[in-house]
Every structure is written in C-alpha cells, then in structure tokens.
Chains A and B, each alone.
Chain A
C-alpha cells in the first residue's frame, strides 16, 4: 500500500492546554482557517513536513474536556474523532495534547480517546514550565498505562518539538497504524466516577506534584478576584483599553491620512478633472481610505482582547461580572462575547458558543449588536470631533472624550435593558441555568500566537475594506454622480442624481428624527457596514460641493444643527446597520426568525431614541 501523502493528523486536547501554540509551532504560517460545513465552528488546517520528509496535514480540532460534547465546537471534535462527521473523515492519527503543568483534564481526555480505537500519540506540552515547577511526570509509566506513545514537548523553545517529530516519523515509518474497534459510549454518572478514579490512579502512579503551596496564580487571584479590588481593576482595565484605542492609534492614523491625501493630490495633478478623477479621488481614495484609517484602532482593541484571553483573565472577568450581569438576565459567560463585540459583533456572536444554555445564548446574541463595535468608531469620531468642542471638563476630562464614553455607556446600558426585558418576557420566574467555569492558571501569552491572531483579524478587516466597502462606495458614488446634471444646470450636480431621489423618498420617514436626505443617502448603504456612512457622507457632500477639498467635519458642522448631529449619533447606537452581523445571527440561531426580531427591535429602538433625542435637543435650543 503506498504511504498517504499527506498524512491526515488531528490535534485534540482540552481548552487552554497550549494546543494552538503547538499547532502554530508545527505549521508556522502555512495555515488555512475556514468553517466546518453548516456551523460557524472554526476549522484550522496546516501543513508541515517531518524531518523524515513525510508531509502532514494537521487539523486543530476545537478544544474539549470530553467526548460528551455540550457545545457546537465540542460536537465537531466528537463527530470527527468518532468518524461521524459528514464532511470530515476521522484522522489517521491523533496528537492528544496534555498540559504538563495541569495534566489531569488532558489525561482524562486521553483515556477517553484510547477507547475510540484511533491511533494516537500523547504530547506532554509545556514540559519546561512543569519541570520548573518541580512537577515530575513518569513518561514510561504513562506509556505503559495508556498503551500509546507519550512524548514531551515545548512549543516555545527551539528544539522543543524534536521528540514529537522523531516519534511521529518512527510511528509512520511502519505505515499508518491500524485503528482498533471503537468502544466509546456516552458515560453516565457512575461511569464518570469510575473514569475519575482511574485517572486519579494513573496520576498517582505517573505524576509527582510538589506540595501545593501558594502558586503565582493564587497570589495574583487574591488581588484580581478580590470582591472589591477585583471589580475596580476590571473597570480600570476597560478604561485603559479604550483610552489606548483612542490615543495610541493617533500617530499611525495621521500617517495613513497623510498618505491617502498625498495619493489624492497626486491623482488630481495627473488625471484631468472629470468623471475619472472624481471616481479615483472620491470613490476609491475617499471611500476606502476613510475606512482603512481605522485599522490601527481595531488592531489595538483586538490586541487587548487576545492578550486578556491568552493570559487567562477572561474567565476571571466572567467570574467578577456574573452576579452583575445576572441582574440583567445575562450569564457570566456572556461577558466574553459581549466584550469581543466591542471590536466586532461577528466574533462576539460566534463566541457565544461558550454559553451552553440555548436561551442564555440567544439573549446574548440578540444584544451583542448593541455593544459599540469598532465600525461605529469612524462615525462617532467624525461627528464628535465636528460638533463637540474639545473643552476640558473638571480639569482632567475632555468633553469629546466624555461624549464618546457616554456613547459606549449607552450601548452597554441598552444591551442590559434589552436582555432584562427578554428575561421578563420569556423566562419569568424560571431558575437560571448553571454557571460553572474553569479558572485556568495564568499564562504568559505567546507573542507568536498573538501576532498570528492579530494578523488574521487585520487581514479580514482589510479584505472587507477592499471588497464589500469598496463595492458599496463605488455604488454610492455612482448613485450620487448619475444621471449627470443637464447642460447649463445651476443647482449642485448631486440634486439631479439617483441618490437624491432615494434620499427624498426616505425623507418623510427620517425627517421627524431630524435627518436630511443626504443623511438618508449615507445610512442606506451603511447597511452593508456602518463605517460606509462616513464614506457615504464624504461622497455625497464632496460631490455636492463640486469635489472640493473641504474637510468633511467642517462641512457637516456648517450644514447640520447640533440636534441633528446628536440624533445621527443615537441612530448609530441602536440601528441594525450591518448585514454581515444579521447574516451571522441567522446562521448561529439557525433561523431567519431571530434575525428579523433583531432588525425589528433595533430599528424601532433607533427611531424612538432618535426622535426623543432630536426633539429634546431642539427644545434645549440646539436645533
């Protein structure tokens, strides 16, 4: 029989066992990230070649504590391992990753996986840290008890993978091992007790733990899980995070701005005035540039989220927030998805898969789009800097910063209020689902994993800017430029365009909340992505101004009243302005129903809130 090329291998292990850093160390940048058919569970596959010149296709299966899967992620791992997955064959060999520092859950999973009959190698990962902490593991004893090869590895040190690669070559040199019969069956409580006792015996024989003294994680937790100080720290951390997003990103954003302006000037100098110049300057550079400029802020936000996740702090945040969020009918675990939603609701909604109760998960999905995602930042920054004076308040705060803070606060408070209403409507008096969560030891994040994670997100954003946002910008530009004004027209060109027609059609609906037709032109295509509103306004106003160089903010502050500007901001807090988010809601809830519920409640909320804001502002004399 010819040797398979490539060999199909899978990494299996509990969450937080260092599986991903091992995957990154083995496959480097040669990774493909996609989804398993029908579900939004991330499917990660990478290629590498062993020293013995065998090509390996390695799949990083979602982390799981056992084959008794409870979430969609864990179900994928169970189905693939048991050969039940419709699209993904069982691997020819499993690499079962065990965290050598906390080997219990990994060894239990390994014992469970032995029952599936699939060939496997157990990898004791992070062995260097374990040795440092005086944890001794008798590899030979483990090998004897489990009946499979056991190797040690360190994903972070050079040469840390040698033993694994050598064993892999030795194993595959004899051909792909034959899979044994599958003896796995779902366990009941008695089976679980037995398997725990068996794991205890295995650990008692093969693992020598130092006497449990005050570990570093313990000492840190005494502070960070302190009932009062822990919460203060969490709030401070969130404050620093948002401060960083707005201040650290500044210089890079200026640089991007300068280079886009230079490019526009270059085009104006070399391309004759007319439709082609207008297309290049207003649609391509104005539209895409206006969005790419927010890349630094998005990268900083994701950097914080990735670091906190890898450090192991996110589970602590869930612990601290559980009772507070429980008051609003949310689960403590909803904290992580909702925090991710500050970057983007799409990963946030996908992260709700950690919530195993369907009702809790649904509530979190429905309110996640209310959290202030980074796509709102462009709109908020534009309007706030144009309309709110940069005045100091109480000496230390700036009025602009305070307004931004209120916009974020409004998102959070409305999300909590909506979930409280949902709980009142659907689950009055029912006991809430359990909150049970592992608090892993703190870990220093791997710079490499963080960089790969940031790169994945940044490139996804740039891809969106280059495709969806670019297309929509071109469409808005087209709508605002055609039909061209008749010869000898005296009015601004845009008044003759399709865009003006659409805007005027929507005007009766939007004028009670203080919007003009130009704003209607900007918010309709912003359904594709919120940040398009900025590009849309730039295009609409630049075109109507004859393609001048006027800074958009100055232009807006001359044309809108403060009441209109505030109403526009409020619209972006609530309106469901993102088709990709709605598509993810549909996919994650498995039906269009909840997507339409989201669209309906968010539009209703947006209109009512804008109406109140506008009329209150007018009454205050800001009209």
Chain B
C-alpha cells in the first residue's frame, strides 16, 4: 500500500489539474503532486516550510485524505497522510498541490 512505483510528478498531467489541498473539502482524497511553499504566506522561510511539510509526511506521491474540518471557516483541517493524522491550517495546506 505504501510505495508509489510511478510518481505523479514524473507523469505528464497538466499543472492546471493540480489543486492546493488548502482549498479542498472534507472527504477529499488524492495524491500529493508537489510542495510549492512560498515565502510570506506564513511566518516561515519557504525552504523551512517545505522541510516541515515533508517531515509530516507530505511527500510527492503520498495519499492524502481530508478527515475533519474546524467550525469557523472550516479551518484548520485534519489530514490522513502516510498512516498518520496531521492537523494544519488551510493557509499552510495551500503549499501542498494535489491531484
């Protein structure tokens, strides 16, 4: 169940089909395509943001499912990734492109 023989980012899916995880609803299930952390979106340098997301398990090809949402603004979200459940805010999840 774990390994991903052909990684999505090596396939030729047009970029437009990838959506940021932060904009998706509860129940969404897909795979991580790319981590695109940008400076100034959160109070962390992009490179550090990218490392933290990878450490939580958001690595290209990983299966992600949005399990829960908060009450106000449906924020934060709880995401099942790589066998663990992780909580993060939608703003941070915008850096995770999924398809």
Contact of A434 among B1, B3, B89 (CB under 8 A): B89
| Contact in complex: A435, B88 (CB < 8 Å) | yes
Task: Tell me the count of chain B residues lying within 8 A, CB to CB, of chain A.
Answer: 42
* A211 within 8 Å of B (CB atoms): yes
Q: Which residues of the partner chain A approach B43 to less than 8 Å between Cβ atoms?
A: 357, 430-434
State the CA gap A319–B74 with chains docked (Å).
12
Interface bits A293-324 vs B (CB < 8 Å: 1, else 0):
00000000000000000000001001110111
Q: How far is the CA of A187 from the CA of B47 in the complex (A)?
A: 11
Question: Chain B residues near A439 (CB, 8 Å)?
Answer: 78, 84-87
**When the two chains form their complex, are residues A228 and B86 in contact, meaning their CB atoms are under 8 A apart?**
no
A226 CA to B68 CA, complexed, in Å: 7
Chain A interface residue count: which class?
35 or more
Chain B residues, Cβ within 8 Å of A211: 1
Q: Mark A214-233, 1 if CB is under 8 A from B, else 0.
A: 00011001000111101100
For the complex, is A79 an interface residue (Cβ under 8 Å from B)? no
Task: Say if the beta carbon of A394 comes within 8 Å of chain B.
Answer: no
Partner of A200, one of B3, B35, B52, B89: B3
B83 near A322: Cβ-Cβ < 8 Å: no
A66 within 8 A of B: yes
Q: Which of the candidate stretches A120-128, A151-159, A201-209, A614-622 sits at the interface with the other chain?
A: A201-209
Q: Which residue of A lies closest to B63 (CB)?
A: A212
Select which of A188, A192, A228, A322 is within 8 A of B76 by beta carbon. Answer: A322
Contact A434 B71 (CB under 8 A): no
- Name the interface residues of B11-54: CB closer than 8 Å to any CB of A: 35, 40-44, 47, 49-54
Our count of residue pairs bridging A and B at CB distance below 8 angstroms stands at 130
A212 surroundings in chain B (CB, below 8 A):
1, 83
Inter-chain contact B78/A225, CB cutoff 8 Å: yes
The CA of A60 and the CA of B84, in the complex, are separated in Å by 25
B76 touches A332 (CB 8 A): yes
Cβ contacts B48-70/A at 8 Å (1 or 0 each): 01111111110110000001111
- A134 contacts partner chain B, Cβ-Cβ < 8 Å: no
Residues of B within 8 A of A357 (CB): 43
Please tell me if A141 contacts chain B, counting CB pairs below 8 Å.
no
- Shortest CB distance A219–B (Å): 11
| A436 and B68 form a contact (CB under 8 A) | no
With A225-B78, A227-B70, A433-B43 known to touch, is A192 a contact of B54 (CB < 8 Å)? yes
CB <8 Å contact, B42 and A196: no
From A104, A197, A320, A324, contact of B83 by CB (8 A): A104
Inter-chain CA distance A217–B85, complex, in Å, is: 10
Does A460 lie at the interface of the complex (its beta carbon under 8 Å from any beta carbon of B)? no
Q: Other than A227-B74, A434-B89, give 10 A-B pairs with Cβ distance below 8 A.
A: A105-B84, A189-B35, A189-B51, A196-B54, A200-B3, A226-B68, A319-B87, A322-B89, A439-B85, A440-B85
Q: Which A positions have Cβ atoms within 8 angstroms of B?
A: 65-66, 68, 102, 104-105, 187-189, 192-193, 196-197, 200-201, 203-204, 209, 211-212, 217-218, 221, 225-228, 230-231, 315, 318-320, 322-324, 332, 357, 430-440
A-B contact pairs, 11 of them (CB 8 A): A204-B3, A211-B1, A221-B85, A225-B68, A228-B71, A318-B87, A319-B68, A319-B76, A435-B89, A438-B87, A439-B87
